[in-house]
Structure 1
């Protein structure tokens, strides 16, 4: 999501996002504008997902 980056990019590159993400810039806790509410969204459960790293999008 915009404004965030992986905490452990090497893990994310291998498909493991369990370490989570962090803000790209420090939050201003005095301001309410730091977060956006996202309603009716379910993020996919990718814990058992896999992908073929040798696949190419080009033909």
Structure 2
């Protein structure tokens, strides 16, 4: 399940699971000892590889 869209990696799946369990990107990053940008990038890579969005993104008002 790779193709032109990208590769599915174990790290990407681990990040997705951590995000689902923690409820946030920052919680997943903290739990995994990774930067926010690394977690976001891996999620984007996984979504691209699967060809579907995995999370509903909601902007919080500032």
Q: TM-score range by the shorter chain?
A: under 0.3
TM-score calculated relative to the size of structure 1: 0.25
TM-score calculated relative to the size of structure 2: 0.25
Structure 1 or 2, whichever has the larger Rg, is 1
Relative to its length, the structure with more strand (as a share) is 1
